[in-house]
Structure 1
């Protein structure tokens, strides 16, 4: 498709992991795909930059070149006066390693992969709203503007909202977020550190205002993810079982945590690289339906962040793959009714894959949003390696959906028994 062409088989709005994954798989299926991005690459996004084995598996499927990215072998959990290191599990469906890569680099690589596959990327294009069919109200394209504020219009029988937490298109057609679903908030920055070559990702399950055990316990958790090039991503997050604002002062929390962090990491003002930035994490399918009337939601636009750990990239990539499959099938159908039947397979597939797991995550969110309960769980759980291996698989979604060992089968059974979110 020529870059000047305003007509496509599918328009994808947002070139983050969800949008680029969707565009890649659609182009691989032979469809004319237009991928619209409001910024220009490389551009930064607030993220922990950690890629779990499930995210790595999706990158492998796409054929993304990850050479030069920091590889990690597992997770170090710190809390309750204990520290435990847990290797990523050996499973048939997932690799036994994770990766870490700054989002500026990751997103640029994914967008380049979509282009390599045949999608047309247009940068510095801001989508301002949907184009609706005047009689049916079906979404048949998007209105946009260029960097020079030139009005633009792009038409397609299918539109994908991959525009992140704002979900501008979804909101414009009345798909509001569900206030009873969990919402996370994350703040992160970067530091130069002599421990940047650490081979594990570190998770702090408790955050204290002062000395651990002798000061106030703050809500939330922290992370330290080593990156290549002598840099580490350091951040904290909080989890609420509803979408109501927490009212927490995250900058003050971060400052208090850093003041008491181990000096081995070198978290000083002189070593800080970039400012502290925050973002909301929409969780547990908090915006639905994921398909209706020509518009699909993928990634953060559909609330696909895990309530267990704030992970969104793996599910964004997965959603793009499943959405593209449904769109490609619909493309071959002769009538609107038949196309909608094929497109309905996408939300059904997402619900089957993650609905029960996310329902478990919602129960987890209600439990750990209370710092004292979290402290009790951490203090009694961390000293028990077998229990922690099970918990790690559950929280990181590093288990085989089909088969596996007894831990995998137990988690699968719990997810299948839980109501589909």
Structure 2
């Protein structure tokens, strides 16, 4: 397996105009790249449009659970590069307790996680897609859909290149992988749902001796002691060693928290890091780059995931796990699911049978994640209650068995069959929960 970065593909199938394809994918993040990779592998002519150029920065915690690692392995990404920093599990800090939980030993998933910055993570994925045969156009900013007036279906997009020139790209299917704001989805009338959780995360990097930590670190309580008095801040935090001399330090807040819309998130991060041990180096003079923030669209907060020739994948479809804020694994999984559905649909002989196959995509997503995400929505409501969190932290963290169960639940790491009692409970709850 290799992740050698070939030159972006510009080749076009014989007789196919450069601005036409079987499938257009808007956005070359993890969801778009994964879908492009599997479509190209199946022989589909896929055009991948990215508004920026690689390498590029994206706001992220940079931590990957074994669920995401599994997707990287499936795409043939080599993990031998030293820039992939392996971790053994999750360290949880809160209520005066410091607990290290190794990733569960499962046949379905590898027993390690990874850290890698998004500065080149997405580029690795896009090169895999290009090597498989996808056509990539960078600095191509999609501005609006092209709608067929007779069928009211999307049949392509209009995009502006770096020189400001507008081009029409045409395809019978379009995948929106353009992130949380998903202007393409909005232009097609697919809007966000108010009954789904939403989070905001901010992060920055610090030069730190903790850069080679072999555990992802999660803080359930954020304290500010800079004023001589301990003040509990809203939200949860993380510290992920990047291995290059820096740590990714950030925090997130959910919209179930009372102060969600009243907080200066960047100032909150500064207050928290100022109260950390001085020897960790999380100080203003060690800060590398600004504090950046991003929204976390959770629990299918934009639906339908397929309609009128448009499929939503990744953050565009609100696929972030409500339990832990993880988005990359679910974006990649959805990209693979979408690609499989599209390949099957393109093999059908009539428009009617193709459409019936495409309509399976939201059904598969609901079957795969719906019940689990419903549980996650209840979880978000509970942890937004400060009194509940105080009680749970005080009495739950000192219980190792309970916390191992919690790790499996939050990271969605269970065996689908032949698992232990914890797996059976989690899988059973996910199955009986309504997939609304």
Distance 1:78 1:299, change over 3 A: same
1:213 and 1:386, CA in 2 relative to 1: closer, same or farther beyond 3 A?
farther
- Which whole-Å deviations, capped at 9, do the CAs of 1:359-411 have from their partners, x for residues lacking one? 00000000011223212111111100000000011011111232311111110
The correspondence of residues 154-233 of structure 1 with structure 2, limited to 5 A, is 154-210=169-225, 215-233=230-248
Q: Distance in 2 between matches of 1:212 and 1:206?
A: 17
Corresponding residue number in structure 2 for 1:66? 79
**Residues 42-51 or 61-70, more deviating:** 61-70
- The answer to whether the Cα contact below 8 Å between 2:31 and 2:331 also exists between their aligned partners in 1 is yes
- 2:370 aligns with 355
1:309 aligns with 2:324: yes
Equivalent in the alignment of 1:36:
49
2:433 alignment partner in structure 1: 418
Q: After alignment, is 38-47 or 64-73 more displaced?
A: 64-73
Aligned partner of 2:128 in structure 1 is 113
TM-score (norm 2): 0.94
Residues 1:363 and 1:163: Cα distance change in structure 2 (over 3 Å): same
Give, in angstroms, the shift of residue 162 of structure 1. 0.0
For 2:116 and 2:321, locate their aligned partners in 1 and report how far apart those are by CA, in whole Å. Answer: 19
1:181 and 1:241 in contact (8 A); partners too: no
Check the 8 A contact 2:254/2:260 in 1, yes or no. Answer: no
The CA distance in 2 between the partners of 1:369 and 1:309, in whole Å, is: 13
**Aligned partner (choices 155, 163, 178) of residue 140 of structure 1:** 155
Whole-angstrom CA distance in 2 between matches of 1:241 and 1:329: 40
> Which residue is equivalent to 2:4?
none
Report the counterpart of residue 19 of structure 1 in structure 2.
32
Match of 2:11 in 1: 2
Asked whether the equivalents of residues 88 and 215 of structure 2 are also in contact (C-alpha less than 8 Å), the reply is: yes
Deviation at 1:262, TM superposition (A): 2.2
Contact between 1:219 and 1:369, CA under 8 Å: does it hold in 2? no
Output one character per residue of 1:13-62: Cα deviation in whole Å (capped at 9) or x when no partner.
00000000000000001000100000000000000000000000111111
Q: Deviations over 1:227-286 (max 9, x none)?
A: 121121110001124999622111121111011112232111221111100000100000
Structure 1, gaps ≥5 residues long: none
Partner Cα separation in structure 2 for residue 170 and residue 76 of structure 1: 38
Work out the CA distance in 1 between the residues paired with 2:65 and 2:98.
Answer: 20
Secondary structure of the corresponding residue to residue 92 of structure 1? coil
Count of residue correspondences: 421
Counterpart position of 2:63: 50
Kept after mapping to 2: 8 A contact 1:132/1:140: yes
Q: 1:278 and 2:287 equivalent? A: no
Structure 2 stretches lacking a partner, 5+ long: 1-9
Which segment drifts farther, 268-277 or 155-164?
Answer: 268-277
Task: Give the TM-score taking structure 1 as reference length.
Answer: 0.97
CA contact (8 A) 2:22 2:171 kept: yes
1:115-140 Cα offsets, whole Å, 9 max, x none, are 01000110000000111111111011
CA distance, structure 2, for counterparts of residue 257 and residue 233 of structure 1: 14
Alignment partner of 1:165: what SS?
coil
Q: CA RMSD in A?
A: 1.7
